């Protein structure tokens, strides 16, 4: 199942990540998904299916906002090692775990124990999974806006309310998880420039 997305070396990194997460989870309750098959389906493949919508952007740097235990940021860092991933979370235990992951797996990530409102570095992409609604995400990341910024929101259900913002346009894409009944949605936000969205 992983062969469709990952090289053998990347699969090895995912296995190591799962082992680290399992060990830390006994003490710090980082995730409710502890069985490996479910972890692969609901965390790894859930993150991996977004990759084809990120690659055309060639992001040099990206934020995983509200990263938790590193989903999707760690998985995407394994898939896209040339992008520098900032993993932002206000929970100190989660960030301590991600520092541990960075040390052991040598990934191109920088964990940040802070709220997004205090993050000041330039990034090309913001991605987040089930953190908040589009309007709130735009509000708390306003200081990071620039013309070429992309914001990707991962959801397990489609949005009932349309985005109402004069500066931003969106496209919602349905994502299918291989060998799974799960359906995920990716909402892609870009600033209005008159250009057609193509993903």
Summarised one tens digit per residue, pLDDT across range 83-97 is: 999 999 999 999 999
Count of Cβ atoms closer than 10 Å to residue 71 Cβ: 25
Element (H, E) at 15: helix 8-28
- Class of the domain covering 2-191: alpha beta
Q: Taking 70 as the threshold, does the pLDDT of residue 187 lie above it?
A: yes
Phi and psi torsions of 175, nearest 5°: -115, 130
Confidence of residue 32 (pLDDT cuts 50, 70, 90): confident
Residues 82-93: b if buried by 16+ CB within 10 A, e if exposed:
ebbbbbbbeeee
Parse the chain into domains and list their residue ranges. Answer: 2-191
Query: Please, what is the average pLDDT of the chain?
Result: 91
Q: Indicate the pTM of the whole model.
A: 0.92
Phi and psi torsions of 126, nearest 5°: -120, 125
Phi and psi torsions of 184, nearest 5°: -120, 160
Alpha-carbon torsion (150, 86, 155, 174), positive or negative? positive
Q: Taking 70 as the threshold, does the pLDDT of residue 138 lie above it?
A: yes
SS3 152: strand
Q: Taking 80 as the threshold, does the pLDDT of residue 172 lie above it?
A: yes
Could you tell me the two tokens for 71? 């989903």
| Burial bucket for residue 44 (CB in 10 Å: 0-12, 13-18, 19+) | buried
Q: Taking 60 as the threshold, does the pLDDT of residue 161 lie above it?
A: no
Element (H, E) at 188: strand 183-191
d(Cα 48, Cα 4) in Å, to the nearest integer? 10
């Amino acid at each position: 199942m992983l062969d469709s997305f990952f090289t053998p070396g990347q699969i090895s990194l995912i296995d190591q990540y799962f082992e680290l997460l399992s060990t830390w989870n006994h003490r710090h309750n980082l995730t409710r998904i502890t069985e490996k098959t479910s972890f692969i389906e609901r965390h790894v493949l859930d993150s991996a299916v977004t990759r084809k919508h990120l690659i055309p952007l060639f992001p040099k740097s990206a934020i995983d906002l509200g990263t938790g235990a590193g989903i999707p940021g760690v998985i995407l860092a394994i898939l896209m090692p040339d992008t520098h991933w900032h993993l932002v979370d206000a929970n100190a235990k989660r960030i301590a775990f991600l520092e541990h992951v960075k040390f052991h797996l040598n990934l191109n990530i920088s964990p940040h124990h802070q709220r997004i409102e205090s993050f000041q570095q330039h990034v090309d992409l913001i991605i987040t999974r089930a953190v908040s609604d589009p309007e709130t995400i735009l509000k708390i990341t306003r200081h990071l806006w620039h013309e070429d910024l992309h914001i990707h929101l991962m959801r397990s259900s489609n949005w009932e309310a349309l985005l109402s913002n004069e500066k931003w346009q969106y496209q919602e894409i349905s994502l299918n998880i291989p060998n799974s009944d799960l359906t995920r949605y990716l909402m892609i936000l870009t600033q209005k420039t008159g250009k057609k969205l193509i993903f």
